[in-house]
Amino acid sequence: MSRLAVIGAGWAGLSAALCLKKRGHAVHVYEAARTPGGRARRVASSPLSCDLDNGQHILLGAYTATLQQMQALGLNPETLFHRERLALMSADGTFCLRAGHLPAPLHLLAGMLRMHGLRWSERLGLIRVLSRLQRQRWRTTPGLTVGKWLVQERQNSRVIRMFWQPLCLAALNTPLEEACAQLFANVLRDSVGGSARHCDILIPTVDLSRIWPERAIAMLQDETWPSTQSAAPHPHGLEASHLPDRTAVCLGQAVRTLQSRPDRVLVNGQPYDGAILATNTPSAHRLLAQLAPAPGSSQFLTALSAFEFIPIATLTLRLERPWGQPHAMQMLWDDPGRLQFGQWLFDRSALLPQPASPTEGPAHAQASHLIHVVISDAGNMAASNADQLTAAIITQLQEQAGRHKPMPAVTGHHLIVEKRATFKAAPGMWRPGNQTPWPSIWVAGDWTDTGYPGVLEGAVRSGQRAAALAAG
Ligand SMILES: Cc1cc2nc3c(=O)[nH]c(=O)nc-3n(C[C@H](O)[C@H](O)[C@H](O)COP(=O)(O)OP(=O)(O)OC[C@H]3O[C@@H](n4cnc5c(N)ncnc54)[C@H](O)[C@@H]3O)c2cc1C
């Protein structure tokens, strides 16, 4: 058994810690925040006097590593998510693509044929693009942006505006003209190119920290979990240090110093046999820059500082009563000229299951009054005044989603803008693997070379890979 430190209790760090503990290692998790989950965590909203997520998230049925990990923790994803067949539906009813109840690829073909909002020729064009991509084994020309790829594929501006742009922004949080076509193709491969269930959209019904990070912390602290531990010897054959051999989670404890000794890694001065840095890139850079240079280390640090970030904003509105939209997730048409930046509408009253017990009743009632409006690539709205923005988005909702069922009065609002929501998923970026130039130090996070854009599944997989390397 060895003692390893994991820095960061986001979805990557917690996945790494679980894998290490399962393999019989003692893990110390350091997390700067008091709530686990990283960017995908619960936050307290003072304007609304309730808990919210740091931003509305969705998962895909294709997020197999995440879903399997939840099951291994004894959680049932079917009760923690609202699962829907792939559906892109605009709130104003002018566009609708909904996958059929058929095995792949017929589910999508049926959806495309029944779709409305696009002409026949445009729908056939979409089918042609996707089948060509599949024939090319989901490979695009290196260095190509999604925008250029769509021009090559002769997609017209209407199809781009109604179909490709919302999809690309939701998947990569990067505008078409800058987004990496290959990363987009990878997302399409694993979703529309997979089984019908892989295309499903999973919307959390509980907050993101409760989805699994809090259970992960409980399991890490539970000395009886997992029941059969196989104490693997450390690959570098290091001696025991003075720390207790128990796994521990330190929330609210930022790591400020990292040092490397021939037989130890010191994290905040505490000795470990190795460390996994599962932080964002600026924080990883700050810590790794404290170490003595190693072969390749200056290129590694340069690559970390080259990451650029794109914000995502989530506006939550509390309504006088539940709205009862027909679908939990609907598209909005944005009009930045009128400050109408909303791209997706989530209505919790169309999402929440009935309360399992009477004690959940009040919380359920409160949550069912909430709607969330998501704005990806939210840099453009940064200059706008928050109150004007909120008023403009309320008008946007009334115009687009209130035609058949008028929107109830708004009784409160909270705008959360996460400035470093995801890295800019541009072509040609160098994303490091989990190894670093320094011995016994690994990295994990959605920004590592996962093959995915900055998403939860990438974070989970990277944590698992880093742990496999650290465990030897
Ligand atoms: C608003 C928003 C919407 C999103 N929507 C989606 C979506 O719909 N679907 C999807 O799949 N993905 C979505 N994402 C992306 C997703 O949240 C991330 O990909 C994922 O959370 C990244 O996890 P991570 O563990 O790699 O990093 P993080 O979540 O950033 O975790 C890093 C952790 O390290 C901690 N840390 C940093 N420095 C230190 C230090 N020195 N000491 C101790 N701790 C430290 C941080 O506090 C943090 O908890 C969204 C992100 C945002 C912000």
Q: CB within 8 A of 405, min separation 6: which ones?
A: 323, 324, 325
- The per-residue pLDDT for 365 is 67
- The per-residue pLDDT for 358 is 58
Which neighbouring-strand residues pair with 331?
90, 344
Angle between helix 64-72 and helix 456-471 axes, rounded to 10 deg: 60
- Taking CA atoms, 141 is separated from 187, 193, 288, 422, in Å, by 16, 19, 34, 24
State how far the Cα of 376 lies from the Cα of 358, in Å rounded to an integer: 37
Question: Where do the structural domains in the chain lie, given as residue ranges?
Answer: 3-47+209-307+425-471, 86-199, 309-423
Give the ranges where 136-258 is alpha helix by DSSP (H). Answer: 146-152, 157-159, 165-172, 181-190, 208-211, 213-221
Please write the tens of the pLDDT for every residue from 212-245.
999 999 999 998 888 654 444 444 333 334 445 7
For 240, the token pair is 């025991």
309-423 shares the fold of 3-47+209-307+425-471: no
Question: Which residue is closest in CA terms to ligand 1's atom 4?
Answer: 57
Ligand 1 geometric centre to CA of 416 (Å): 15
User: Is 9 near ligand 1, meaning CB less than 6 Å away?
Assistant: yes
User: Is 374 near ligand 1, meaning CB less than 6 Å away?
Assistant: no
Residue with tokens 């084994």: 137
User: Is 39 near ligand 1, meaning CB less than 6 Å away?
Assistant: yes
Q: Using CA atoms in the order 260, 261, 266, 272, what is the torsion angle rounded to 10 degrees?
A: 110
Q: Of 339, 347, 352, 341, give the one whose Cα is nearest residue 319.
A: 347
Ligand 1 pocket mutation, candidates 15, 186, 279, criterion most atoms within 8 A of CB: 279
Question: Which residue is closest in CA terms to ligand 1's atom 52?
Answer: 421
Q: Which atom of ligand 1 is nearest to the CA of 416?
A: 1
User: Is 251 near ligand 1, meaning CB less than 6 Å away?
Assistant: no
Question: Which residue is closest in CA terms to ligand 1's atom 7?
Answer: 57
Q: Of 50, 107, 8, 18, give the one whose Cα is nearest residue 365.
A: 50
Rounded to 5 degrees, what are φ and ψ at 58?
-130, 155
CA 281 to chain centre: 16
User: Is 172 near ligand 1, meaning CB less than 6 Å away?
Assistant: no
Neighbours of 195 (CB within 10 A): 14
CATH architecture of 309-423: Alpha-Beta Complex (3.90)
Ligand 1 geometric centre to CA of 249 (Å): 18
Give the homologous superfamily in CATH for domain 3-47+209-307+425-471.
FAD/NAD(P)-binding domain (3.50.50.60)
- The per-residue pLDDT for 363 is 62
Ligand 1 pocket mutation, candidates 7, 27, 43, 57, criterion most atoms within 8 A of CB: 57
- The per-residue pLDDT for 382 is 83
Question: Which residue is closest in CA terms to ligand 1's atom 8?
Answer: 57
- The per-residue pLDDT for 231 is 45
Question: Which residue is closest in CA terms to ligand 1's atom 1?
Answer: 55
Ligand 1 geometric centre to CA of 11 (Å): 7
| Mean pLDDT by groups of 10 residues along the chain of 472 residues | 93 98 95 97 96 96 96 95 92 92 80 90 93 95 97 96 95 97 95 88 95 96 74 39 69 97 94 97 98 96 97 97 94 96 96 62 75 96 91 98 92 96 96 97 98 97 98 87
Which neighbouring-strand residues pair with 265?
260, 272
- The per-residue pLDDT for 364 is 64
